[in-house]
């Protein structure tokens, strides 16, 4: 949540656009104190844009004009962004591929779980904004934490390399170009992570509790945009130790020129 000294300049929009407690049933009461404690949001920070948030509803087939049907709790939020200078509007999608623990019937030792299931739910939800096979007919910018490493070799215990590759392939199939960020739009990890090829252009965006911004290794955060629209977008990881910030994830600077 925004710090109190800047709260008046931060517009998080209505809770209906991000809080799954609003649209969900009450099935979770008695099992969990809250559904989850972290939520994707689209936040307005400037008077140079108007933001029209989409309210979340369940997985209905025909949401209203101001709604988005969502299939994952706390995984996605969306809004229509309208620049006040007359530039074309676009759809902004905030993503968080939440870890999902496998069912107990699997008898697995994967205690953390897998993120690709959440990522595919996100892609299904944002697919509602793709109304034509020609990507030039839509303007979508989607960014966030996918909890997976692009181009992984599979040498990491939690990596599901083949499954995770399908997430990036599916984005491409929807006409959403991968924007990275990739080096030189961010500092590379040194040494190269053991689960990445030697020529990887990944840039670390996350550090564990045993690491610092200086020793961060893994890129988990990415941006995508509609093919054609992507040509006017630059993405950079603010991942130098001096600009990292207070979170275990660094910020991505996404600049749109038209």
For 123, 180, 210, 221, 244, the CA distances from 207, given in Å and listed in that order, are 26, 18, 8, 12, 10
Report the alpha-carbon distance of residue 101 to residue 108 in Å, rounded: 10
What are the tokens at 150? 């692009």
Question: Is residue 3 scored above 80 in pLDDT?
Answer: no
Phi–psi pair at 162, nearest 5 degrees: -65, -45
Q: Is the pLDDT of residue 135 over 90?
A: no
Under 8 Å CB-to-CB from 116, ≥6 apart: which residues? 97, 148, 160, 163, 164, 166, 167
Candidate CATH numbers 3.30.1150, 1.10.3470, 1.10.10, 3.60.10; the one for domain 7-256: 3.60.10
Predicted confidence at residue 157, as pLDDT, reads 62
Quick one: average pLDDT of 143-163?
84
Q: Is the pLDDT of residue 158 over 70?
A: no
d(CA 30, CA 37): 16
- Decide if pLDDT at 212 tops 80: yes
Give the three-class secondary structure for 143.
strand
Domain boundaries, the chain: 7-256
- Rg of the Cα trace of the chain? 18
pLDDT of residue 201: 96
Q: Which long-range contacts (CB under 8 A, 24 or more apart) does 105-109 make?
A: none
In which element (H, E) is residue 165 found? Answer: helix 161-173
Using pLDDT thresholds of 50, 70 and 90, give the confidence band for residue 24. Answer: confident
Banded pLDDT at 31 (limits 50, 70, 90): confident
If 0-12 CB within 10 Å is exposed, 13-18 middle and 19+ buried, where does residue 151 land?
middle
pLDDT at 170 over 90: yes
* C-alpha distances in Å from residue 35, one per residue of 24, 121, 126: 10, 17, 22
**Which pTM does this prediction carry?**
0.92
How far is residue 101's CA from residue 92's CA, in Å, rounded to a whole number? 28
pLDDT digits (tens, 9 = 90+) for 52-89: 999 999 888 899 999 999 998 899 999 999 999 999 99
pLDDT given for residue 222 in this prediction: 98
Are residues 155 and 195 in contact, defined by beta-carbon separation less than 8 angstroms? yes
């Amino acid at each position: 949540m925004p710090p109190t000294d800047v709260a008046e300049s931060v517009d998080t929009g209505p809770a209906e656009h991000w809080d799954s407690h609003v649209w969900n049933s009450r099935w979770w009461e008695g099992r969990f104190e809250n559904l989850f404690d972290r939520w994707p949001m689209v936040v307005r920070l400037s008077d140079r844009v108007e933001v029209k948030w989409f309210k979340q509803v369940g997985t209905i087939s025909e949401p209203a004009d101001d709604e988005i049907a969502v299939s994952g709790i706390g995984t996605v939020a969306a809004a229509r962004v309208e620049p006040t200078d007359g530039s074309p509007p676009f759809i902004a999608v905030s993503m968080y591929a939440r870890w999902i623990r496998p069912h107990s019937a699997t008898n697995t030792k994967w205690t953390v779980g897998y993120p690709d299931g959440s990522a595919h739910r996100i892609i299904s939800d944002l697919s509602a904004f793709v109304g034509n096979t020609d990507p030039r007919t839509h303007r979508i910018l989607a960014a966030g934490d996918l909890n997976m490493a692009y181009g992984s070799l599979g040498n990491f215990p939690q990596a599901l390399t083949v499954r995770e590759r399908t997430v990036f392939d599916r984005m491409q199939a929807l006409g959403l170009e991968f924007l990275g960020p990739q080096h030189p739009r961010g500092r590379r990890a040194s040494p190269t992570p053991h689960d990445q090829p030697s020529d990887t252009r990944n840039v670390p965006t996350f550090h564990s509790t045993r690491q610092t911004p200086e020793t961060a290794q893994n890129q988990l955060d990415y941006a995508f945009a509609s093919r054609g629209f992507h040509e006017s977008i630059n993405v950079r990881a603010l991942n130098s130790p001096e600009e990292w910030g207070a979170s275990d994830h660094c910020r991505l600077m996404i600049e749109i020129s038209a």
